[in-house]
Homo-oligomer: A and B are copies of this chain.
Amino acid sequence: MRNVSQSTVRRLSVYVRVLEDLERRGGETVSSRGLADRAGTTSAQVRKDLSYFGSFGKRGLGYSVPELLKSLRAILGLDRAWGVAVVGAGRIGQALARYPDFADKGFDVRAVFDNDPQKIGQRWDDLEVLDVGDLPQVFRERQIEIVILATGAESAQSVANQVVACGVRAILNFAPVKLQVPAGVGLNNVNMVPELESLSFALTNPQATARGVSGASQEPS
Contact = CB atoms under 8 A, between A and B. Distances in A.
A181 B214 contact: yes
CB-CB nearest 3 A-B residue pairs: A77-B204, A180-B215, A13-B194
A184 interface: yes
B17 A176 contact: yes
B13 A197 contact: yes
A170 interface: yes
Given A91-B94, A180-B215, A101 B201 contact: no
A207 B2 contact: yes
A4 B9 CA distance: 24
Contact of A200 (B78, B94, B201): B78
A46 to B, nearest CB: 14
Interface in A184-212: 184-188, 190-205, 207-209, 211-212
A75 interface: yes
Copies in the complex: 2
A193 to B, nearest CB: 5
A155 B163 CA distance: 37
Range, interface on chain A: 35 or more
Interface of A: 1-4, 6, 9-10, 12-14, 16-17, 38-40, 75-78, 82, 84, 90-92, 94-96, 98-99, 101-102, 105, 107, 145-146, 148, 169-172, 176, 178-188, 190-205, 207-209, 211-216
A182 B215 CA distance: 6
Contacts of A39: 178
A92 to B, nearest CB: 5
